[in-house]
Every structure is written in C-alpha cells, then in structure tokens.
Copies of this chain bind each other. A is one copy, B any other.
Amino acid sequence: MYVKHLQCISCGKEYPATPQQLTCSECGPDGILDVIYDYSQIQKVFTKENLAINRDHSIWRYMPLLPIDPNVKRPSLRVGGTPIYYAKKLGKAIGVEKLYLKDDGLNPTGSLKDRASSIAVVKAVEAGAKIVACSSTGNAASSLAGNVASLNEYDLKACIFVPERAPAGKIAQLLIYGAIVISVEGSYEDAFNLSAAAIEKYGWYNRNAAINPYLVEGKKTVAFEICEQLNWEAPDWAVFSVGDGCTIAGAYKGFYDLYQLGMIDKIPKLIGVQAEGCAPLTRAWETGEPWQKTEENTLADSIAVGSPRNPEKALNAVRKSQGMMVNVSDEEILKMQTFIGRHTGVFGEPAGVTGFAGLKKLIDEKKISPEDSYVVVITGNGLKDIANARKAAGEPVRIAPDLEKLDQLLKEYGLIDKL
C-alpha cells in the first residue's frame, strides 16, 4: 500500500515491488533488496492513537508498514502479539534493573519465524503460486507449513526439503501441518540445492533463506511490538541471537521505521549473539573483514548457520545502531535455559536463550552498563527441542515412596528450612 519500491542495498538500483523480485538483477544473489516506504503518507494513518483502539493484536495491526496487498487472503494464524515481561527477578540475578523479556516462542508454531512466514505466504498468494517451497528442518519450515495450512480460501501447498538426518520430531510437526516433506538422501546442502533447482524448474514461490526481502519486513513487527508494549519508550538496547542475520536485520528495520515516523526518540543499540562454534558474523564485526564461511558447531540448531544469507543487513543493523556482537559457548547456552526458566517461567529453545546468554556475558565483563534498559527476545519455544532441555535440566531426585525418606531428603537438600 505504502511501498515505494525495492532498492538494492549494494548498488542502489530500484525495482518495482513485485512478489517475484527477490534479489538485485545486477548484483546477483548477493544483491539483497530493501523495501522502501513512503513514510509521509504512512504518518497520516499510522498513529499511536489509532493503534490504541485497534483490537487486532496480530502483526496485521501494523498493516500500513507491511509490504502486502491488504485485500489478499492471509493465513488465519494469529502471528505476533506475544507477551513482553518485566523480568525483575531475572534482572536482579544479573544486576540489571530494567530488563524485559519478549517471549516469541508463543507464536502459533512456536517461533519468531512465524512473523516472516506469514508474509511469505501472502506474497505467494499475491504471486498466484500453487506451491511455496523451502529447504529447512527448523523453525522456518514449520512456520511456513503451519501458516500455509491456516489459509482458508486459497489452495496453497508447502513443499519442504529436508536432509535425511533431520530429527523425527521436527519432521512430525511439518507432516501434521500437511506439508509435502521430501527427505533428501544426502547433506543439508544436497537438500538445499535440490530445492533451489525445483523452485527454478517448477516456478514455485521461494521462501528459501534470507534473500527474500519481504521476510525481514515480517520480522520487523517484533520491534513494533516491543516499542508499543513499552508505551513507545524504546529500550537502550535490544538483544537477539544471530544465525542467518535476518532477525536482527528485521528488528533494526522495525526500529528504523518507527524512528522515521517520529514514534520513538531513538533506535535501540542492537546486540547480536552467536554461538562460539558458529560465529561468522561476530568475526566479521570484530575484524571489519568480510565474513567467511565457518563450521556449524553448536547445539543451538536454529542459529547454526555457517554461511549466513543476510550478512550485510545484519552487520548494518549492529553497526548503524552502534551495537555490538558477542559469542557464547554451548555450555553457557544450556545453563541459561534453566537460569531463565527458573527466574521467569519462560522456556526457550537453545537459540532462543542465546541472546540472554550474551547479555549476561557482556554485563559480567562490564562491557555494557547495568543502568541501561534491555529487551531480550526469546526467539523459539523450548518444547521444540526437548533433547537439549534434558541436557540442560539435569535429573530429578529419586526416593522410595516413604515419608521418612522424604523428610531425610528434604533435610539433605536444605529444603527443610523452607518449610
């Protein structure tokens, strides 16, 4: 509605904003496009007052800032509107007074990726596609499958390519949603390449990876919600785990939009957190050199991305916001799962708690001030990955069914003091 055009972030070339235009024709697959809006027109309809009386609590409440035709059929899942918590007890535990946690694991399919996939589905419908495809075993795939299934008046199929080693639990979620799931005998790269060839050959709509410029526009709604939920007082810092780089890039775009519209008085500094075993973007940020492909050596599968597909937008987000990047170990990640769980009641998957692990590390190392305000986004639900939760959580105490034994146990564990 209010989209002016697409623009290449490398060469600046402009393109009409069609659903099919995904990358810059001049710069090739690395020519990432950005959606450019007409803020002066948006300002006339998009106001704090209008939002206050808007009873749609999904991402569609931000329609004027979304790159979709409002008349096109949309998935019916309620994406967005996830809760933000003032995490007083958790903040106290790390010495930060103004700490907020946004639990995006409460999106319909369990992750922030729903924000991107719902937009992808609308673009596929706009494009008149019959099949939308991607290669993934993770949150992108399940959110695509779920959002496709929830379309009521348009016959679209999700086709997901997975490597044969994909965990059965994640496959189950895809099949439940009725996606066509093609298990490719080979590596993730084999699955990716086959999906790319099929998309090319059959003309399917492409939800593969970060280059689709419309997906970031869905992800940016997390920034809108943060600001609106904090009564338009932008936090000093916003913290995200980083894999492909799309989520932090989306958050930046969201804060940028609101800043351009005069709805917040600053863009929060962005902290991007990667896993030590897979940190190409942190390395690029630290050295100023171009990013280089790395191993994918972390249990936080949702951010195990050795070749990030949105490196420039992600690094721009951190640099332009005067933010920072940091790495954490898998041990720190697992430890933070229980740490966050017991201080907040929020259960994040490993990649979902990685942002907080980075925040804690930076606070511990005195690289950021405990006086500032922080919003940490939990990007995925812990129920998605029970195997790692078990590693994190340890074992319960075992006893015989005998009250004296229980009494003894409670004393041993110092619990008797609490009685």
Whether the pair A149, B343 counts as a contact (CB closer than 8 A) is yes
Whether the pair B173, A347 counts as a contact (CB closer than 8 A) is yes
CB of A298, distance to nearest CB on chain B (Å):
19
Q: Which residues of B contact A197 (CB under 8 A)?
A: 403
- Contact check: which of B148, B157, B162 meets A345 at CB < 8 Å? B148
A191 to B389, CA, bound (A): 24
- Contact check: which of B86, B390, B402 meets A169 at CB < 8 Å? B390
Please report which residues of chain A, range 371-419, place their CB below 8 angstroms from some CB of chain B when the two chains form the complex.
381-384, 386, 389-390, 392-403, 406-407, 409, 413, 415, 418-419
A202 to B403, CA, bound (A): 11
A343 to B155, CA, bound (A): 11
A3 to B86, CA, bound (A): 30
Given A176-B392, A418-B131, are A401 and B108 also a contact pair (CB < 8 Å)?
no
- Contact check: which of B130, B164, B176 meets A341 at CB < 8 Å? B176
Q: Mark A174-189, 1 if CB is under 8 A from B, else 0.
A: 1111101111111000
- Contact check: which of B131, B149, B389, B402 meets A344 at CB < 8 Å? B149
Whether the pair B108, A103 counts as a contact (CB closer than 8 A) is yes
Given A176-B382, A383-B384, are A131 and B396 also a contact pair (CB < 8 Å)?
no
- Contact check: which of B171, B346, B383, B400 meets A381 at CB < 8 Å? B383
Q: Which residues of B contact A86 (CB under 8 A)?
A: 76, 152
A106 to B111, CA, bound (A): 12
Q: Which residues of B contact A400 (CB under 8 A)?
A: 184-186
A164 to B202, CA, bound (A): 53
Whether the pair B341, A396 counts as a contact (CB closer than 8 A) is no
Chain A contributes a number of interface residues (CB within 8 A of B) equal to 94
For the complex of A and B, list the 10 residue pairs with the smallest distance between their C-beta atoms, beginning with the closest: A178-B342, A150-B345, A175-B393, A181-B396, A78-B83, A176-B341, A383-B383, A190-B401, A149-B345, A169-B386
Known A-B contacts: A77-B83, A176-B337, A184-B401. Give 19 more (CB < 8 A): A77-B346, A106-B106, A109-B347, A110-B383, A149-B343, A157-B418, A162-B396, A172-B392, A174-B396, A175-B338, A175-B396, A180-B397, A180-B413, A180-B415, A181-B396, A184-B398, A185-B398, A201-B407, A202-B419
- Residue contacts A-B, CB under 8 angstroms, 28 given: A76-B345, A77-B83, A77-B345, A78-B85, A83-B108, A108-B346, A109-B347, A130-B418, A131-B418, A162-B396, A164-B398, A172-B386, A173-B383, A173-B389, A174-B393, A174-B396, A176-B341, A176-B347, A176-B392, A177-B342, A178-B342, A178-B343, A182-B397, A184-B399, A185-B398, A185-B400, A198-B403, A203-B419
